[in-house]
Structures are given as C-alpha cells and as structure tokens.
Structure 1
Amino acid sequence: MQTTLRARIRDGDSEAFGHLFDAYARSVYNHAFRLVGDWSAAEDIVSLTFLEAWRLRGRVDPEGGSLRPWLLGIATNTARNTRRAARRHAAALARLPRDEDVRDIADEVAGRLDDTELLAAVRLALDTLRRGEREVLALCVWSDLDYATAAETLGIPVGTVKSRLSRARKKLAAAARDREPRRRPGQVKGGRTPAAWPAQEESR
C-alpha cells in the first residue's frame, strides 16, 4: 500500500527506500537525460537525487499517492545545480593559461560522442528552450504529469505551467520546420531525398 510505503520511508526504512529506487530510478533517469541531454550526467543526477531524497525523507507526508512527482522535483533541482556547477567549472578552466603545444581534442571527442544526427537535432531543438520551458515539457509531456502536479513539483502556478508548455511547443515546432530538408535545385516535388535520417535514437 502506497501510504504504508510513505510512512516507512519517512521513518528511515532502508528496505522501503530500496523499493522506491527500484520503482522510479528509470523514470528519474529518463527525466534527467531530457533535462541535460547527456547520459553520463543523467546517471550522476539519479545518484544525487536519491541521496537527496534520503536526506529529505522526514519531509514526506505519510498520506498521499505516488512519490514519483516528489522525486522528479528533486531531480529537476539537482539538474539545475549540476548545470550551474558545470558552468562555473568551464569558466574556471577558460581562465587557465593554455599550453599551445598540446592539441585540444575536446571538440573531437565530443563530436564522436554526438555523431548520431537525430539525437543532435533533438538537442539543438531543446537548446532553443529556456530552462523553465524545458522543465515543464519534461514533466508534462515526457513524464506525463498533469498541470497541477507539475506546478506543485516546480513550485509555480498552474497558469505558468500552461504558458511555458505552450511556448515550448511553439519553439519546438519552429525548430522542426527549420530542420526540414530543402529540395536541391532541379529536384522535383515528391522526388526521392538523397539520404534518410537515422531511424533509431540512442537508447540505454
């Protein structure tokens, strides 16, 4: 029974917390990836999310339904903190003197990791969104939370959730139109395109 699980987690029952992890780790992982666009970073966010959930277990209301929205809210905050830390780290590295004799292969490595054209296109589209728009999209569309639950998870009004989601959808639609292949000179309408997009997106 869900209420019993909540009460056990609140009381620090490690076995109940293990059940919570087994039930929602994949959901948290998928949500984290949609926010940061990186598999390795998403794994770190999952670990940090459940560590933080354990720390905050005393705040869990013994009565209520699924704890999934609570975990997704923690994951959202963790992703924000992770991005801020990454920006600070990058800024610190940029201030360091560079050895001109050492070839910088970071871009080359990143290019190999992100060489799946479809995944790259999705990331480019998501980059057009503000942080709040991406968070609402991830919760309402990909994680299937209703407006009220998403609003409670993010600590914002329901109207803000709706407006951010509307803006996100419009931006993604515009980005998709911009990515549509253009016909080459002389190519007839309805003719065969020179190459097909990859059929599969990387999955884990």
Structure 2
Amino acid sequence: MELSQRARLRAGDQGALAELFDEHAQAVYGYALRTLGDWAAAEDAVSLTFLEAWRLRGSLHRDGDSVRPWLFGLATNVLRNTARTARRHRAAMSRLPEREPVPDFADALVTRLDDDARLAAVRRALARLRRGDREVFRLCVWVGLDYASAAEALGVPLGTVRSRLSRARTRLRALTDEELTLDQKSALDREPGSGPGQVRHGGVGAARSTQGDIR
C-alpha cells in the first residue's frame, strides 16, 4: 500500500518534501509577499517555511487529509518572526541621519508605483488590526484557506475564525480608505506652492477603492 504524502513526510522522505514544495511554494510566496511587501524578504520566508516543515515534520499529525493548513501554520509563525525582526531593523535605522529622497518621475513607473502604494496602504491598514484578526484575514482571503483549515493552521476554534474574519473585513475597508486618503493628502502637501510665473499642477491619481483587494 502506497504511503500518503503526510506519512512519507513524517518518515523523513525528502521526496515528499520536494512534492510539498512544488505544490505549495507559489502560494506560500504570495502569502509572504502580501504580508511583508518585499520580494526578497518573501523569498527568504518561503525558504524558512520549508526548512521549518522539514525540521518540524514530526509535529505533523498522523491522521488527516491535506497538509496545507499545517504548512501555512508554519508560514504564519515564520512571518511573525520576520515582522518582529523587521521592526527591530526599522527602529535601528530610524536612529540614523535621514537622507534626502530622490524622486523618480519616469512615466513607466506610474502604474507600478500606484500598485505599490495601494498594497502599502492595505498592509498599513492590516497592521492596525489585532494580530489574530490580521492572520485570519491573510489565511482566509489571501491564501484561500477555508474556515476549518485556518482554524487548524492557527490552533483556534472554528467560531473564532468566523468572528475574526468578519471583524477584520469590516475594519480593513475603513482603515484602507483612511490610509489612501492620508497618502493623497501627504502627496498634495509635498507639492511646491505657486509663485510668480509658476503654475501649480494637480496631483495625478486619486485614491481608488481597494474593496477588490480585500474582499
């Protein structure tokens, strides 16, 4: 009788780990990228997640179907630690003298900058949620886990996942709109004032709704 992927992984079969990587690495990467907002950091998080999967393979329950909830539970822990390290790094960097920003007005970057700005606004809004609400939202909405799988990944009751997700969605819509409004106001405040012989140009790109991003 052929052993399941779960059983093979528990037994230390490296082929099972390779299969797990092929099946889920892209989804883990997307989860990490949306959470961290940094391509390189997301790639590191993927590597750490699968290293943890190998190191902690004995913690995988013998019984069950998909190992996806277990894997994303590990990814969530990796991202918690990564975010904690990033906060320490930002705190250290904030103590260094500031450098003057160098703006880039290349037309080819407008779309990319707009997308990055909206993602940054969503991430800032998420950071204002309670950690439990934030993690449930990421797993259910960004990763696509169902309630039961998210509950398994986080080790919480099913009802807790439902209530946290409902609360997160409600708060996130309002907070994201607030962040985008603040971004727009900040951009306008940075524009040079009108003077003799000068014409002030309006800012390009009004804040757009992010409901498509967070539903």
TM-score greater than 0.5 by the shorter chain: yes
TM-score (norm 1): 0.74
Identify the residue that residue 173 of structure 2 maps to in structure 1. Answer: 173
Aligned-pair CA distance for 1:10: 0.7
Instruction: Verify: 1:126 aligned to 2:119, yes or no.
Output: no
Matches within 5 A, 1:54-203: 54-95=54-95, 98=97, 104=99, 108=102, 116-129=113-126, 130=129, 131-175=131-175, 177-178=177-178, 179=180
Aligned-pair CA distance for 1:124: 0.7
Q: How many residues align?
A: 180
Aligned-pair CA distance for 1:195: 5.9
Q: Is the 8 A contact 1:3 1:65 kept in 2?
A: no
d(CA) in 2 for partners of 1:152, 1:167: 19
d(CA) in 1 for partners of 2:92, 2:205: 42
Aligned-pair CA distance for 1:2: 9.2
**What is the CA RMSD across the aligned residues, in angstroms?**
3.4
Which stretches of structure 1, 4 residues or longer, exceed 4 Å deviation after superposition?
175-181, 194-198
Identity %: 52
Q: Is the 8 A contact 2:121 2:176 kept in 1?
A: no
Identify the residue that residue 31 of structure 1 maps to in structure 2. Answer: 31
Instruction: List alignment gaps of at least 5 residues for structure 1.
Output: 182-193, 199-204
Instruction: List alignment gaps of at least 5 residues for structure 2.
Output: 185-203, 209-215
Q: Which shifted more, 129-138 or 72-81?
A: 129-138
d(CA) in 1 for partners of 2:23, 2:175: 35
Aligned-pair CA distance for 1:177: 4.9
| Pair 140,104 (structure 1): closer, same or farther in 2 beyond 3 Å | same
d(CA) in 2 for partners of 1:171, 1:122: 16
Q: Read off the aligned partner of 1:72 and give its amino acid letter.
A: F
Q: Read off the aligned partner of 2:99 and give its amino acid letter.
A: D
